[in-house]
Amino acid sequence: METPLADAAIVQKMIQIVAPIYAVMEPYLPIIASVSVLMVLASMLIIPFLIVKMPADYFVNKRRPRTWSIPRIVLYILRNFVAFILFIAGVLMLVLPGQGLLTLIVAVVVSDFPGKFRLERWLLKQRGVLRSINWIRKRYDKPKIHVPEELEDKS
């Protein structure tokens, strides 16, 4: 069992580790807080918008056919750039205020990379994800996402 003296030593050691980091970050804290608030507000607008715009049969087929053209390549680059920004924001929101997991899911949905569809379907199987998506869609009078039986949320 640890004594109060041992606890004080642990706290003192933590202060020694954190103090230099805080000293470096202190001038940037208002900017970090502002960006965090902006990400929360943006995620509150963008995530429901993207979920509502998703077709109800998005997850029904096993594979997505691809056809490549110049406009499709430009769209591919733009989508992946936006997805990268959303991914970074989602990772940051895991430790800052915001909807980090939902933002990461939206980043995956917006992006376009090999194996993406399998990853989306795996994410959809995670507890509560389908229920959350359908709850948002219901609030905007959109039909539930149709999914194959193996992806149904059993909770």
- Pairwise CA distance, residues 40 & 42, whole Å: 6
pLDDT value of residue 57: 85
- On whether the CB atoms of residues 137 and 144 are closer than 8 A, the answer is yes
Statement: residue 3 has pLDDT above 70: no
Task: Give the pLDDT confidence of 100-118 residue by residue, as tens digits.
Answer: 777 787 787 788 888 887 8
Task: Give the pLDDT confidence of 68-80 residue by residue, as tens digits.
Answer: 889 988 988 998 9
This prediction has a pTM of 0.56
Non-local (6+) Cβ contacts of 153 within 8 A are: 125, 127, 128, 129, 130, 131
pLDDT value of residue 126: 79
Task: Give the pLDDT confidence of 5-57 residue by residue, as tens digits.
Answer: 667 888 888 888 888 888 888 888 888 778 777 877 877 788 888 889 888 88
Give the confidence band of 85 by pLDDT, cuts at 50, 70, 90: confident
Non-local (6+) Cβ contacts of 120 within 8 A are: 59, 108, 109
